[in-house]
Amino acid sequence: MYITNRRKAILSIFIVFFIICLGTSIGSSDISIVDTISIIGNKLFNLPLANHIEPKQISIIWKLRLPRVLLAFLVGGCLATSGAVVQSVLKNQLASPYTLGVSSGASLGAGLVIVTGISVPIIGSFTLPVIGFVCGLVTVFSVISFSAKIDKTMSNNTIILSGMVFSLFVNALLTTLSAFFSEDLKSITLWKMGSFAMRGWSYIGMIIPFALIGMIGVIRFTREMDILTFGEEQAKIIGVNTEKIKTKLFIYCAILTGGSVALSGTIGFVDLIAPHVVRKIFGSNHRYVIPMSFVFGGCLMMITDLIARTIVAPMELPVGAVTALIGAPFFAYVYFKKGS
């Protein structure tokens, strides 16, 4: 039976809530999904708790697991949405926001904070994510400016090559920095591999502005992205200012990706996998592709984080390592299927 995209979207929302409850209930101290829902309901809507639920369980769910799961969802959603936009604009299924140098810039900023130990008085403990985000945004602006100077039309190949050059250069700076400060190499490496451990509600509050600004900005241009799929020449004939639209979309992608990378570290492949799956299920209409990429990316990240913290418990794997183990074969599959 044919299922409409609207029904698929509604079903996806129920899946999100189920995965949130599942991810929040499973851990070193397993708590049933029913009890998890009861605790969340009590905290959010002041609903009565079951008598057998202990204060320790409430603290585990509300202070540790739920903010971690929600952060994973928001980060995964932001990365996947950025991936969907970059793939559409550059017309390349294997492109990602990391192509624009966001990850490299954010990593360099985080590396500088780690080795210098600086702390900005106003933002305190959030110095690392904020500086990481700013450096990622500066890198994207540099890529866009460089691409515009050498190619006024800002062709897709020019943007991809410019992003690769800047990424390699910034990564080289980070490697050099790590060589000079070898005692901090472990901290830099762990940050780059990505993690949601020990991230409380304050991190949720920090990423929400990035997610809202980025998503609202991208959704405004879903019609233009649909037009761009027919080619830039056709888009210009219709009246779309392709260079201006590209620049705005890349800036919103930088906001989404930079905020995510700065708060969680470098986590790859989610931005590649989720948009590809969404297009298979919902088609190429960006009115569905953009929001559903956020939903599917968030679900994928929550599942990946759950695997990372339970598969070798009590140890915890870096989330970036798990996504790479899943994403690398998927990348190969998409590449070889494209070439066949």
Whole-number pLDDT of residue 79 = 95
* CA distance linking residue 42 with residue 60, whole number of Å: 14
Q: What is the amino acid identity at position 293? A: S
Provide the domain limits for residue 93.
Answer: 5-339
pLDDT (average), residues 121-147: 84
pLDDT tens, position by position, 201-211: 999 998 998 89
297 exposed, middle or buried (CB, 10 Å; 0-12, 13-18, 19+)? buried
Q: Which residues contact 93 (CB under 8 A, 6 or more apart)?
A: 87, 276, 334, 338
The DSSP symbol for 27 reads: S
Nearest to 292 by CA among 52, 84, 32: 84
Q: Tokens 């390592």 label which residue? A: 321
End-to-end CA, the chain: 30
Whole-number pLDDT of residue 13 = 92
* CA distance linking residue 340 with residue 338, whole number of Å: 6
Q: Which residues contact 242 (CB under 8 A, 6 or more apart)?
A: 153, 154, 228, 232, 235, 236
Whole-number pLDDT of residue 1 = 42
pLDDT (average), residues 175-197: 82
Whole-number pLDDT of residue 74 = 97
Question: Between the ranges 71-80, 190-199, 239-248, 325-334, where is the mean pLDDT highest?
Answer: 71-80
pLDDT tens, position by position, 255-266: 899 888 888 888
Number of domains in the chain: 1
The pTM of the whole model exceeds 0.85:
yes
User: The tokens of 273 are what?
Assistant: 């996998």
Whole-number pLDDT of residue 71 = 96
Asked, as a colleague might, if the bond just before 314 is cis with ω within 30 of 0, I would say yes
Higher pLDDT, 325 or 62: 62
For position 306, which CATH number holds?
A: 1.10.3470.10
In the predicted model, is pLDDT for residue 41 greater than 70?
A: yes
